[in-house]
Amino acid sequence: MHKNWILFKVYLTAGTFTFSGGMAMLPMIERQLVNQYHLIDRDTLYEYTTLSQTFPGVIALTNACFLGKKINGTKGMIAAGIGAILPAFVLMLAATIAYQLIPQKGVIISIMAAIRAASAAFLFSAAYSLARYNLRDAASILLALACFLLTVFNLASAPTLIVAAAVVGILLSVTKRRAAKA
């Protein structure tokens, strides 16, 4: 089988069967690209996976682009990239069209209200796990708290806060590197 076709197929199946995106698809990718088709070794796969999480943009797509490019150049990158986003695009398009057709009356209003409450719960849960894994010291707790309060009271926009947080991250890291050298 041609490499591009394999890349497309592997990312397409991984994208179809992984919910909430991100690197949940990694085990499936590893099994197929490393064990089944021997297109790449495990260490390189993990190296690029870690790397793709540090870049801006869609992590799963960045990962597909890195491995596709590594395995078969620009054509491989495009094949893997399309495979990675196609399932999400097609399925979400179908879901949105179906959603637009749902009549908003009677019992459906009540069902939708409950689902929206569930939706809020998912975000609280996401905030909880982000906090649990990333708030390790006073600086990070302060940063999270500042972002929360500034957003709630409409004092700063999300893009501003993200840029500011990136600057804080760099400053903290520079200070730590200075301290390590001294």
Write the binding mask 59 to 78 for another protein: x where contact by CB under 8 A, - elsewhere.
Answer: xxxx-xxx--xx---x--x-
Distances (CA, A) of 135 to 95, 96, 128, 160, 167: 35, 35, 10, 21, 17
160-179 positions binding another protein, by CB under 8 A: 161-170, 172-174, 177
Tokens of 21: 């995106």
Tokens of 165: 């947080």
Write the binding mask 86 to 105 for another protein: x where contact by CB under 8 A, - elsewhere.
Answer: -xxx-xxx-xxx-xx-----
60 φ, ψ (degrees, to nearest 5): -60, -35
To another protein, the closest distance from the beta carbon of 149 in angstroms equals 8
Question: 């957003």: which residue's tokens?
Answer: 151
Whats the size of the chain, residue-wise? 182
One residue of 28, 34, 40, 135 binding another protein per CB under 8 A:
135
To another protein, the closest distance from the beta carbon of 174 in angstroms equals 8
Determine contact, residues 34/42, Cβ cutoff 8 Å.
yes
Q: Which is nearer to another protein, 123 or 182 (CB)?
A: 123
Q: With CB under 8 A as the rule, give the number of residues binding another protein.
A: 97
To another protein, the closest distance from the beta carbon of 14 in angstroms equals 9
Please give the helix or strand (H or E) that residue 161 lies within, else none.
helix 158-181
Q: Which is nearer to another protein, 36 or 96 (CB)?
A: 96
Closest by CA to 62, choosing from 49, 43, 75, 46, is 49
- The answer to the question of residue 155 lying near another protein (CB under 8 A) is no
28-47 positions binding another protein, by CB under 8 A: none
To another protein, the closest distance from the beta carbon of 1 in angstroms equals 24
To another protein, the closest distance from the beta carbon of 55 in angstroms equals 5
C-alpha triplet 107, 111, 113: angle, nearest 5°? 115
